[in-house]
Amino acid sequence: MKYNNIKQISVLEYLVLAIPSLGLLVSTYLKWLPLTYTEVLGFITGIACVWLCVKENVWNWPIGNLNSVFFLILFLRERLFADAGLQIIYITLGFLGWYWWLRGGKGKTELPVSRIDIKTATVLALLGIFGTFGMMMYLRTINDSAPFLDALTTVLSLIAQYLLTKKKIENWYVWIIADAIYLYLYFSKGLYLTTVVYVAFFTMCFSGLSEWKKSLTAVSK
């Protein structure tokens, strides 16, 4: 059975992803850059995952799960405990998203791009407010290095990831807000390559929003 959301990636697109990735791995091995393999592999899988999301390619989910493993290790090392725990939830949602994208439509068909309804948006907004406050208070008790921003970005990311698994176009708006905050947080922590990753994420969110709007228009016709 052919799935439309396993969309083909061109050879040029593969090369654009592969060449810089290989360069980073070689530079890390030769110690030309002060980077760890964990951060480099998180960079590579993260960029690949978001690009595949932009293209509505279902393989973003297994690659995204691999990315979560690398970031789990990285965030535990930096004592960003909420972001570390978030990766475990990402892995769970990754398997659900993989299934829903392929079988979440009517009659277990492919899941089309759609918009969120007002009721769901209200529930998610309230969960976001109370979830951020509650998590911030908890993170303070375990000496998290940035309790408010860590809590806020964690809650926003959970909301965005849930919307992504359900293929709601609003996921891109939430990611844009979350990634903008992440840029400040990771730069302040000296995680410069991870900051570059999130610059790329932030930029690709706008591409994703544009591409998904086209798909939404096509579905509506």
Q: CA nearest 166: which of 213, 109, 104, 214? A: 104
Write down the pTM of the prediction. 0.81
Residue 215 lies in a domain: yes
Residues paired with 168 in a beta bridge: 114
Residue ranges making up the domain that contains 91 = 11-220
Q: What is the pLDDT of residue 27?
A: 87
**Per-residue pLDDT tens over the stretch 89-116:** 889 999 999 998 988 777 778 888 999 9
**What Rg do the C-alpha atoms of the chain give, in angstroms?**
18
Residues paired with 114 in a beta bridge: 168
Residue 208 lies in a domain: yes
Q: What is the pLDDT of residue 179?
A: 94
Residue 173 lies in a domain: yes
| Residue that has been written with the tokens 């996921």 in this structure | 171
Q: What total number of domains does the chain contain?
A: 1
Compare 6 and 62 and report the one with higher pLDDT.
62
Query: Residue 131: how many CB atoms within 10 A of its CB?
Result: 18
Compare 16 and 2 and report the one with higher pLDDT.
16
Which tokens sit at 196? 């570059």
pLDDT greater than 80 at residue 216 = yes
Q: By the 8 A CB rule, do 45 and 63 touch?
A: yes
Q: By the 8 A CB rule, do 147 and 139 touch?
A: yes
Residue 3 lies in a domain: no
**Per-residue pLDDT tens over the stretch 150-199:** 899 989 999 999 999 999 999 999 999 999 999 998 898 888 877 887 89
Query: For residues 73 and 91, what is the distance between their CA atoms, to the nearest angstrom?
Result: 14
Angle at 112 between CA 110 and CA 113, to 5 degrees: 150
Query: For residues 221 and 219, what is the distance between their CA atoms, to the nearest angstrom?
Result: 6
